[in-house]
């Protein structure tokens, strides 16, 4: 018996089998029963959950997007008055006890709360019932860049004052990034495959890419894929300020994130979390689930040129987009909307614009493109996840969210960025791109699932 695990590595084990729930399993790998190398399953998104600065839950988030409501404001979680940037996208009015009992909520850090709550929302939205019969068929893949860095900062300060007595007993657990995946698995009663990813601001797309591969190959029937981040604590935020990459438009918080505008002056950092339920199409149809989107293609590319400066020519992002289109077996003419990274950085917005022109040619001027970061800010690892939720709702509702705060055109960013007002449009295919420190590009293509196709 050969038991093949996540990445195609094969390990030879004894041939003894055991019967589990009436089905034959390799005793080393329960996933074996789902895996048929000759069958490539289609993968769809059936549930959405989100905790964002401009909305908690998919409905509030969506209404904020299409009405152009920003979640950016003055920082309240710590004193930023002596920093050059004093604004961010904080999640307000978040009540974890609406989803968790008080004991559970107390044991979790804020980023873990975002992860678990968004995952619970996605499961509830999907209508999937998790039971002893199917819990081992469902996986979890969550991502984060910083994990619970704010907890470390707080406990370190206390330890300097009080020694070991100042350290919360669960700090070691909370400091581990994989604890997000663990908390989600425990709270939802899931016992399938579990992994954690960290690829900077591309993480939110990369967790979906990994999860898609597991379901496509039959290792899992469904996976909760999500990402969460809480970067708003003094040390890390000060480090970002020192980098010179943050907007200093402190007198106009809601107008600070302005992708593609000539007067853009940098990132606006934010916090939050999101999750989607990815599912085998046959499973989703069998249980009569609504389907937001089908995953059609993806790609990820590393520029390998510089840790901080992106390739302004756009050639590497263009290469990533072309690879995703090839996987999806689509032409450039098939893309109806681009949910862009658009982070309000002077150089990156130009690079992104150039990439779209390289791939789509003259048609680039006709494709609606928008950046929801103009309203949400940039929540690091949660960035791509926010875009995926927004894109699923765009496919469902036929409305393209705007890029707000666009006032002065930049001649180097001259495409259709859906300026300041949402637009009704017929959208069947969406391209999503995300960019990360270290110059990593990830691209995901989603399509509207049409019954019978």
Q: What is the pTM of this model?
A: 0.89
pLDDT digits (tens, 9 = 90+) for 390-426: 999 999 999 999 999 999 999 999 999 999 999 999 9
pLDDT digits (tens, 9 = 90+) for 224-256: 999 999 999 999 999 999 999 999 999 999 999
Predicted pLDDT at 23: 35
Taken as a whole, the chain contains a residue count of 453
Predicted pLDDT at 158: 59
Nearest-angstrom CA–CA distance, 292 and 396: 6
Nearest-angstrom CA–CA distance, 267 and 276: 26
The token pair at 198 is 């960290």
The token pair at 142 is 């969550």
Strand 43-52 and strand 55-56: the pairing is antiparallel
Instruction: Of 419, 441, 267, give the one whose Cα is nearest residue 343.
Output: 267
- What percent of the chain stands above pLDDT 70? 84
pLDDT digits (tens, 9 = 90+) for 152-164: 666 656 566 666 6
Predicted pLDDT at 168: 63
Nearest-angstrom CA–CA distance, 99 and 219: 30
The mean pLDDT of the chain is: 89
The token pair at 310 is 């992106």
Predicted pLDDT at 34: 45
Question: Which domains, and CATH codes, for the chain?
Answer: 2-34 (no CATH), 43-286 (3.40.47.10), 297-447 (3.40.47.10)
- Sole residue written with tokens 């018996």: 1
Nearest-angstrom CA–CA distance, 170 and 151: 10
Nearest-angstrom CA–CA distance, 335 and 445: 9
Nearest-angstrom CA–CA distance, 326 and 321: 9
Among the residue ranges 27-31, 350-354, 385-389, the one predicted with the least confidence is 27-31
Residue 25 pLDDT level (bands cut at 50, 70, 90): very low
């Amino acid at each position: 018996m050969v038991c093949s695990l996540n990445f195609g590595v094969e390990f030879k084990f004894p041939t003894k089998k055991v019967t589990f729930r009436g089905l034959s399993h390799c005793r080393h790998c329960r996933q074996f029963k789902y895996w048929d190398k000759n069958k490539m399953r289609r993968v769809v998104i059936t549930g959405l959950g989100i905790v964002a600065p401009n909305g908690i839950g998919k409905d509030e988030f969506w209404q904020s997007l299409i009405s152009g409501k920003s979640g950016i404001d003055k920082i309240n979680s710590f004193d930023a008055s002596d920093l050059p940037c004093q604004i961010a996208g904080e999640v307000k009015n978040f009540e974890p006890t609406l989803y968790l009992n008080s004991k559970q909520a107390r044991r979790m850090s804020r980023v873990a709360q975002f992860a678990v709550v968004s995952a619970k929302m996605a499961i509830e939205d999907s209508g999937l019932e998790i039971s002893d019969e199917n819990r081992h068929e469902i996986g979890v893949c969550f991502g984060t860049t910083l994990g619970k860095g704010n907890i470390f900062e707080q406990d370190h300060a206390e330890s300097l004052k009080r020694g070991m007595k100042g350290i919360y007993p669960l700090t070691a657990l909370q400091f581990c990034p994989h604890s997000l995946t663990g908390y989600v698995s425990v709270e939802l009663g899931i016992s399938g495959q579990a992994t954690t990813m960290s690829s900077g601001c591309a993480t939110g797309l990369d967790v979906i890419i990994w999860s898609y591969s597991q379901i496509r190959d039959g290792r899992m029937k469904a996976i909760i894929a999500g990402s969460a981040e809480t970067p708003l604590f003094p040390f890390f935020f000060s480090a970002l300020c020192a980098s010179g990459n943050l907007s200093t438009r402190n007198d106009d918080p809601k107008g600070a994130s302005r992708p593609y505008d000539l007067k853009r002056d940098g990132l606006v950092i934010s916090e939050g979390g999101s999750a989607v339920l990815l599912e085998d199409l046959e499973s989703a149809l069998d249980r009569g689930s609504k389907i937001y989107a089908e995953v059609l293609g993806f790609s990820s590319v590393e520029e390998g040129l510089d840790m901080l400066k992106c390739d302004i020519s756009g050639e590497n992002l263009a290469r990533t987009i072309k690879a995703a289109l090839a996987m999806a077996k689509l032409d450039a003419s098939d893309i109806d909307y681009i949910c862009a990274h658009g982070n309000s950085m002077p150089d990156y917005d130009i690079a992104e614009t150039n990439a779209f022109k390289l791939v789509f040619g003259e048609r680039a001027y006709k494709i609606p493109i928008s950046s929801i970061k103009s309203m949400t800010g940039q929540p690091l690892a949660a960035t791509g996840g926010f875009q995926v939720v927004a894109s699923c709702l765009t496919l469902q509702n036929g409305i393209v969210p705007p890029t707000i705060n666009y006032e002065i055109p930049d001649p180097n960013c001259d495409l259709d960025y859906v300026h300041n007002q949402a637009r009704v449009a017929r959208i069947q295919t969406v391209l999503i791109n995300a960019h990360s420190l270290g110059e990593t590009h990830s691209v995901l293509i989603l399509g509207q699932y049409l019954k019978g196709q």
